[in-house]
A = this chain, B = another copy of it.
Amino acid sequence: MQLDKNAIENLESRYRAALINSVSGFKPANLIGTANPQGETNLAVMSSVVHLGSHPPLLAMVVRPGGDERHTLANLLASGEYTINHINSDIYRQAHQTAARYPAKVSEFNATGLHEQWLEGFSAPFVAQAEVKMAMQLRQHMPLEINGTHLVIGEIIHLELPGNAVRRDGSLNLPAAGTVALSGLDEYLTAAALARLSYAKPDLPLREISEESE
């Protein structure tokens, strides 16, 4: 199946949205926790978190100014703080349900049965049922004029991890942490390792890194 620029432009709009949301490949599945100045909490699924750098530890995400993500953006810009929580296979249905348009006064936590967890001195709520949780401090905010989305860059200032999923070399075994992936707008997936591959060198065959040899 081949589509040129005109064919893509002429697709029915929901079909195009489903297709173009799928073509980047697998996406991370995260819940972003925020609170407004009155302490009212908000929770939203975000599939756009991307690694920016390890030192300092920076993650970026693309936030849409409309719909469910509007409150997330307003809250994190006001407070400078937000949390990133991995969606796992026990909570992906509750996570997806946070996208429903609840009345302004209803927190997605209460509505979906996800529980708030708080860190002393930090204004944004974690998801208690998540295994991997990060407290983020806003570092930079760039509106992207090309289509009205926003790039939000934050630094990880606190990290909670399931100890049994952290390998000896520091890498996280995401399937062991129960973390799921997202595809397109609505598909949740579990993953299984094919292999970890050694650092590539021109004249050496790749080696598989086993859990023992790390």
Contact = CB atoms under 8 A, between A and B. Distances in A.
A25 B156 contact: no
Give the interface SS of chain A, mostly helix, strand, loop or mixed.
mixed
Highest count of chain B CB atoms <10 Å: which of A12, A53, A153, A199: A53
Interface stretch (A3-11, A35-43, A69-77): A3-11
Given A25-B28, A188-B194, 13 more contacts: A4-B158, A13-B55, A15-B170, A23-B172, A26-B26, A51-B62, A58-B146, A60-B62, A100-B200, A172-B183, A188-B195, A188-B197, A189-B194
Interface of A: 1-5, 8, 11-30, 47-60, 62, 84, 86, 89, 92-93, 96-103, 106, 111, 132, 134, 139-140, 142, 144, 146-147, 149, 151, 153, 156-163, 166-167, 169-172, 174-175, 179-181, 183-202, 206, 209
